[in-house]
Structure formats: C-alpha cells, structure tokens
Chains A and B, each alone.
Chain A
Amino acid sequence: MSSTIPVTIDFSGGAEFLVKAKVQKVQIPEESTLRDVLKFVRDNLVTDVHRINMLLNDDASEVAHGVITLINDTDTGLLSEYDTVIEAGDTITFVSTLHGG
C-alpha cells in the first residue's frame, strides 16, 4: 500500500456549497498530481453530486469553466497546471467565479 501525505483542501467563492466543509484536511497518496486531487475530490469530498459539473468536468480531469485552482495561494497557471506534484502540507484551493449571484 502506497504511503499518504497530509494536505488541506479549501473551497471558496461558492464552491464550498458543493462539499461537506469549506476547509478539509485529508490524506492523499504520495506523488499525487493536481489531476489526481481532482479525482480524489470527486470521489471523496463532493456531497452535492447533482451540481458537481459546477466544480469539475465530466471525467474530473479538469476543473469546470470558471473555477480557479491555487496551490499554496499560487495560481496553478504559473506552475505545471494539472501536472503539478502535490507535496505534504500543501493547501489546494478551488475558487469559483460563477456562484453567488
């Protein structure tokens, strides 16, 4: 069994209404990429499955249009996007730009 690392996942801008809690401390497999985290979120954290398309695309390979992903408050567009490797203690944030109104 592969070892796991602790990370924090934060949902903001309305994305928090699709999951159980705004901030969640979870364990994910070591050497996971951001893309792996998306699948982890789909399988373990999303509670409002009918509106999951507001957070992730159909196969959870990317976030939905209008959702921004940050790792340690840095835009993943400035990192390796979905191939960014997550390290122990990282905070991954999902900011929705479309909720709220």
Chain B
Amino acid sequence: MTTLSVASKILRALITVFLLVSFVFVVLRLSGDPAIQMLGVDADPRALDAFRERWGLDRPIWDQYVSYLWNIFQGDFGHSFIGNRPATEVVAERLPKTLWLMGLTTIFTFGIGIPAGVYAALHRNTAVDRLTMGLTVASFSLPNFVVGIVLIMLFGVVLRVLPTAGSETWLHYILPVATMATADAAIFARFSRSAMLEVLSAPFMRTARAKGLLWTEAVRRHALPNASIPIVTVGGIYVGRQIAAATITENVFAWPGIGKLLVASVQNRDLAVVQCIVILVGVTMVVTNLLVDLAYGWLDPRTRSGESK
C-alpha cells in the first residue's frame, strides 16, 4: 500500500466523521427549537430567552454550526439535563461495563464460531456441517431480545441458577454474554466456513498436496492462513453488530452500560447524551473500518504494491 492510498483512506475517514457531526447538528436543529424541547412548551418566555442566549441559539445558523463544531472538537458535548453533568462524563462512567460485555462476547464468538466454521468446511456435507449451517440460519432469524427472554426463562425462572438483572458479580455476565455470543458465533461460523471452502478449492492446495504434504499439514500451513484474511475484513461489520446487539441486550438484562443509557436518554429526550453516544459510536465505526482497511492491505501482499482495489 502506498503512502498516498493510506493518506486518502485517512482523509475519507475524517470526511465521514465530519459528515456524522454535521448530520447530528442538522437533525438536532431540524427537530425543533432546542429551548422549547429542553424546557417544555409552556416554559416562561424569559427562561426560554435566557436559555437561547446561554447556548447561542439567538445567533445566525452558520455561527451556531461553527461553534458547535468547535465545541465538539474540544470534547464539549453539552450537559445532560439529568443531574446537569457534562454528557461526556455521564457516558464515560458507563463505558467500561459495555466494553467488558463486548470484549467477553468477542472471546466466545471467535472461540466457538471460527473453529465450528472451519470444522464444518473440512467436513463438508456431513451431519455436523448441516447442523452448523442450520443453526446459523436459525440464529440469523433470532432477535437478541428473544434469545435473552428464552435464557431468562430457562436459567432465571425455571432453573433459578443465574441472576437476570444487573452486573454486580461475575455470574451476572453469563446470560448477557451468552445472548450476544449466540448470534455472532453463528455468523462467524458461516463466514469462516465459506472462507475456508474457497481456500480449500484453490489451486495452491492441490499443489501442496501434489508436492507430498499431508492433508492436515496443507490445511494448517496453507489453508488456514489464507482463509484468515477475509475473516479480518468482516471486522467492521462485526463491531457494528456488537454495538447494536449490546444496545438491545443491555436493556433485556438491565445492564448499566452505554446501550441502556442510550435508550433511557432517548426516552427522556436527553439530547446531549444521545448526540454524545451517536458520535462516539460513529467515530468507533470509522476508526474500525479504517484499521480493517489498513490491516487488509498489510495482510494481503497482493494489495500492497501499487493501487489497491
């Protein structure tokens, strides 16, 4: 990959972030008078004026836009009107819980999904392959909250062995992580199966066999490394799915993370917190996609020289 293409990728990522912030600004202004939204329709007109002056809403729109960008750039996302604390502070204190949830889920997703997919590919059209594929199709159709409800029914109501709300002990992690890992493990199984199948039928595998390598050796030394490249490319999609899944799952299990905060803020129309989370998610996604792009170029030597694509 040339310096130029790396630079253009970074530039494109920056443009996307800029678009995102502008989008939030436009939607925020389109949605009505923030003063009325924050203080209510029948607020005292003097209070409304004071609010507008304080947040600069009486200035021209381009002026507001520039100062909005400047504030965001400095990390000032406004105040949550619940407790009147900075939105960033409210979001930051919830962040670790969500990151723990997503991190643990990732370990289980990869640990179960990838081996299952590779196994299914190596034993194509056997009962195990069909079972794996059947399960993945089924789990595509299972929304997170249904998995969560079923797990609560089973382990919380019938067997009464696991806690179903909160995050106090390590036992509390089991059901949310299981809920999130179910769907994602299935997706990774499916994806690594097809990546593996593609590689197994590649000419270099025939060559490896022809030069006398054992089948297991050929798989280990040639098929697995090559199949791992396309798996990296779904990294961006994976992080996006994780964020969406965490949003739902946290609400099923009363998990005090970003997802629960987001839904509560949407219900209370606590716009400062909502915009802070949206921009946080957007930037996370842009950075992930950029890293995936760069990692892909680094992993696959063919895209390294000259123009990528």
> Do A and B share a complex?
no
Binding site for B on A (CB under 8 A): none
Binding site for A on B (CB under 8 A): none
